[in-house]
Amino acid sequence: MVKSWTPRLVFLGDGAKILLNLWKKITGNSCKIQHHYYQYIGTKRVRKSWWWKLLVIWVVLWTLVSLWVFWYMSSQAMEKRKETLARMCDKRARMLQDQFNVSMNHVQAMSILISTFHHGKSPSSIDQRTFAKYTERTAFERPLTSGVAYAVRVLHSEREQFEKQQGWTIKRMPEQTPVHKDEYNAEALEPSPITEEYSPVIFAQDTISHVVSLDMLSGKEDRDNVLRARASGKGVLTAPFRLLKSNRLGVILTFAVYKTDLPSNATPNERIQATDGYLGGVFHIESLVEKLLQQLASKQTILVNVYDTTNSLHPISMYGSNVSDDGLQYVSTLNFGDPFRKHEMRCRFKQKPPWPWLAISTSIGILVIALLVGHIFHATMNRIAKVEDDYHEMEKLKKRAEAADVAKSQFLATVSHEIRTPMNGVLGMLHMLMDTDLDVTQQDYVGTAQASGKALVSLINEVLDQAKIESGKLELEAVQFDLRAILDDVLSLFSGKSQEKGVELAVYIFDKVPETLIGDPGRFRQIIINLVGNSIKFTEKGHIFVTVHPSSGGGDGIHRMEDTGSGIPIEAQYRIFTPFMQVGPSISRIHGGTGIGLSISKSLVCLMNGEIGFASIPKIGSTFTFTAVFTTACSNTSELKNHQINTQSSSVSSEFRGMTALIVDPRTVRAKVSRYHIQRLGIRVEVVPDLNQVFSSIGSGKTVIDTVLIEQEVWDKEFALSTLFVDKLRKLDHGVPPKLFILTSSVSYTRSNSATSGVYTPTIIMKPLRSSMLAASLQRAMGVGNRVNGRNGELPGLSVRYLLLQRKILVVDDNNVNLRVAAGALKKYGADVVCADGGKKAISLLKPPHNFDACFMDIQMPEMDGFEATKIIRDMEHKINDRIQHGELSVEAYENVHDWHVPILAMTADVIQATREECLKCGMDGYVSKPFEAEQLYLEVSRFFHSVADQNP
């Protein structure tokens, strides 16, 4: 047996030793197994002998299984046969019992009828003729009775008078010996012997009229039956016996007839005294059971026997024969209402059970299938070795492919990061060069170089994002951000391209969308930029409309980008989200791009627990829709409303409060977008479709109109009316005339400048509309507000200068170019910068006491990176602070500072979630990306510094 298992190890490769150790624990014969393993491994002879033994075991095993299946299915068939017999027998027993109960209930009802109309009436309302006629007509209500008779109770003292009244003598019941119907003669019967009481039959159904005048107490079975019936007050049955005249086997059901005033709880003695007579129902068992079985279609299937089992040792057969070809038997208990008598029905099948062909065919089929499987196993044995070799080869190729994929992702991430580092230096130097004294041509060259560098960095970022997505390392932030500010930034980003093409770019956000959300603003901005960028790229005329409206969830919103561009061909729509795939080869030549923007957008949407889809019709346009789940920053509606009002009041000049603007635009959707942006400034807005209604609105004097904003389409279409409109504005005699603005999407639009002249020359506002741009235009035109503010979301460099002025900053970076860029950017804002080229030098410079206000530290440096250096600095500060608090060190020696903690900000080109978490974990206070931007620098340093202007008012 041990030897037969050994060759199998040939095919298990490295797992063979594990099986050997397991077999050693089970059998204790490891030495012998190892001997056979190392002796025969890889040989065909052992394989063949082992498989032959396994095949024999297989055949024997499945032979036993087939025999077991045959036995099991045969036993199941037998159980089913038993269940069928039990069901059929119970059905017959239930029918017989139900029919008997019906007859018994009717007999009992007749006993009440006799008590009421015979004994309760004087004279009696019933005679033999009436009784016979009634019982004959109601025979159908007693389906199992062959006749009904009534015997009255007569005392010995009443016998003579009774016999004279009836006209016949009370006869004695004949002996229980079979009497043929032709030999029976009632007149020849002897008179009943003298006893204390008699019970002669006075009424009888015509079918048993021969029992009239017979004394029921003179027969043994009838006497016992009568005495039990009157004492119990219930119906009682006799034992089966041969009936008079018919000589058939039958039983008699007897009910005592009592006086009507007998109480329901009477004692047996009270019942005996109150007895008036006895009503009996005669049952011919054989004929009645046969009649009942005739009603069943399957009566010939089984044999039925009915027994009186009052005497369990000697049961009396009431119906059926004892002949049967099948030994299977089922017994159903019968309850005929008499607790003294016991009856049961025994059922058997007439025919022997058929051969279990299903079990035979199934077992043979299993054996045949097992033999076929064994043959297949044996036939495929010769191929197993080859399959295993192929499998191992495929495993190696798979691991090699996975390693190549990981190496590709690592290569992309590493190379992208390494390229971005010098590119950050290039962009930083170009930014510093732009701040020097350059002529127009040089500024154009530097601007072109900056744009090209930013485009390259953007492409590298996309490739890096794709690599992170494929490796599953892309993570999202959960910070608070302003959705409307992000969309305004996107509008500003693409405003130049849309104006050059004359394409109308617009954003509309529904009022129910929260002002502030919690999520990843950078990735959300990236999705919007990818989708809007594609729309700008493929739209030559028409519009690009971005809408955001809330869904039922509250924090999640539905974002739609609709354009009137060239659309996506139907045959290319299925691969629109596939990385590095474009609609056609000519797209990259005409429009550029790598084809991964939409793929990245889809992955980012999935990370935000949202969905993205599109609908596109070639030469008509496309609509991209996506959802993103965010958390609202305010807990309830009132807080959200207050937060929105406060945000608006902090970003909008108070001079616009209470003003009213009039928009002239016949297109409802476009007017709705313009109204949305103007209302964000706190200005009340009215909309009219043409210039004629402007005259009526201004001339009525009900509302003071401060500004009129006219769509270029309306101004050009009604050019003659425009001149008249301006003249009317000049001649207004009440108040200051409203300021006039033209809304246009084309940068080449100059026609309005030549239409009018003087003080009422319309001011042109270029689309797309943003609240910051509108505020600046209104401030310039109306001479109010602060003109220093830049575009929406951008903080002026002067604010950063106030924060960093005279601050001593330590910059740590191993790259000399990055060190110069960082130092130059900080010096630009008035900081006193000290440079260090490594972590060890930074530790020595930041050892308390020192006079540095902050430290900007690069993360990736040789010898000691920024994480390790920060940990050492924090440990050093912690120890000194503890010693100062315990009085071990003098506070004066440490410049009267009780708690040393210098703000350390990480400088990195790889700002991902894992890097940020590592920065905070090692003790850093924040991070800034390279190259420095005024907005991010201001947001970070403002958490630690107060501006010089604030300190010195």
User: Can you read off the two tokens belonging to residue 719?
Assistant: 């050019």
Average pLDDT value for residue range 104-125: 87
Q: Is 645 a residue whose pLDDT tops 90?
A: no
pLDDT in tens, 623-632: 999 998 888 7
More confident residue, 11 or 301: 301
Per-residue pLDDT at 125 = 87
Q: Which residues pair with 908 in a beta bridge?
A: 929
- Cα-based distances in Å from 869 to 73, 164, 255, 394, 912: 80, 140, 113, 47, 20
How far is residue 206's CA from residue 138's CA, in Å, rounded to a whole number?
A: 13
Instruction: Tell me what pLDDT residue 734 has.
Output: 58
- 10 CB-contact burial (10 Å; exposed 0-12 / middle 13-18 / buried 19+): buried
Residue-level pLDDT at 693? 79
Give me the numbers of helices (H) and strands (E) for the chain, helices first please. Answer: 29, 32
Residue 154's alpha-carbon distances to 120, 252, 369, in angstroms, are 17, 21, 85
Q: 823 pLDDT band (50/70/90 cuts)?
A: confident
Q: Out of 333-342, 466-475, 888-897, pick the least confident.
A: 466-475
Predicted local confidence at residue 772, as pLDDT? 77
* Per-residue pLDDT at 949 exceeds 60: no
Considering only residues 580 and 848, tell me which one the structure prediction assigns the higher pLDDT: 848
User: For residues 212 and 202, is the Cβ–Cβ distance under 8 A?
Assistant: yes
pLDDT of residue 874: 92
Summarize pLDDT for 510-538 with one digit per residue, the tens: 888 888 888 888 888 889 988 998 888 88
Is pLDDT above 50 for 67? yes
| Pairing label, strands 171-172, 214-215 | parallel
Give percent above pLDDT 70 in the chain. Answer: 79
Kindly report the pTM of this predicted structure. Answer: 0.50
CA distance 345 to 350: 15
Least confident span in 31-35, 257-261, 664-668, 883-887: 31-35
- The answer on pLDDT for 810 being more than 90 is yes
3-class secondary structure, 176 = coil
pLDDT at 68: 92
pLDDT of residue 326: 59
When pLDDT is averaged across residues 634-642 and rounded to a whole number, the result is 43
- Rounded to the nearest integer, the mean pLDDT of the chain is 78
Residue 188 CA, distance from chain mean position: 94
**Which sign does the torsion angle of CA 698, 702, 705, 710 carry?**
negative
What are 581-607's pLDDT values in tens digits? Answer: 666 555 544 444 567 888 888 988 998
CB of 709 closer than 8 Å to CB of 661: yes
Token pair listed for 641 = 């409303």
Query: Which of the residue ranges 633-637, 661-665, 896-900 would you say has the lowest mean pLDDT?
Result: 633-637
State the CB neighbour count (10 A cutoff) for residue 637: 12
Q: Which two tokens stand for residue 181?
A: 């119907």
- Ramachandran sector of residue 895 (left: φ over 0; alpha: ψ -120 to 50; beta: rest): left
Q: Which residues pair with 319 in a beta bridge?
A: 306
Answer yes or no: are the C-beta atoms of 167 and 292 closer than 8 Å.
no
pLDDT for position 913:
54
pLDDT (0 to 100) of residue 903: 92
Angle formed by the axes of helices 597-607 and 440-471, nearest 10°: 50
CA–CA distances in Å: residue 649 to residues 652, 655, 680, 681: 5, 11, 10, 9
Residue 538's Cβ-count burial label (10 Å; 0-12, 13-18, 19+) is buried
Interval 560-571: pLDDT, tens: 999 998 888 888
pLDDT, average across residues 389-413: 81
Which pLDDT score, from 0 to 100, does residue 795 have?
42
As a whole number of angstroms, the distance between CA 928 and CA 859 comes to 11
pLDDT tier, 149 (very low <50, low <70, confident <90, very high otherwise)? very high
Segment holding 691, helix H or strand E: helix 691-700
Contacts for 449-454 with beta carbons within 8 Å, 24 or more apart? 453/423, 453/426, 453/427, 454/427
Cβ proximity of 867 and 922 under 8 Å: yes
Measure the N-to-C terminal CA separation of the chain; round to a whole number of Å: 100
**Sequence-separated (6 or more) residues with CB below 8 Å from residue 370:** 58, 59, 62, 63, 65, 66
- pLDDT digit string, tens, across residues 70-80: 999 888 888 88
| pLDDT tens-digit map of 227-279 | 888 888 888 988 888 877 777 788 889 999 988 777 878 888 888 888 989 99
Look at residue 41 and tell me whether its pLDDT is greater than 60: no
Please, which contacts does 191-196 make with residues 24 or more away whose CB atoms are closer than 8 Å?
192/217, 192/218, 193/218, 194/156, 195/156, 196/155, 196/156
Contact indicator for 595, 588 with CB cutoff of 8 Å: yes
What is the reported pLDDT for 826?
82
Q: How confident is the model at residue 748 (pLDDT cuts 50, 70, 90)?
A: low
DSSP assignment, residue 305? E
pLDDT of 796 higher than 60: no
Q: Which helix (H) or strand (E) holds 330?
A: strand 329-334
Whole-number Å distance between alpha carbons of 316 and 306: 9
Predicted local distance difference test score (pLDDT) of residue 181: 54
Say which residue the tokens 């940990």 belong to. 871
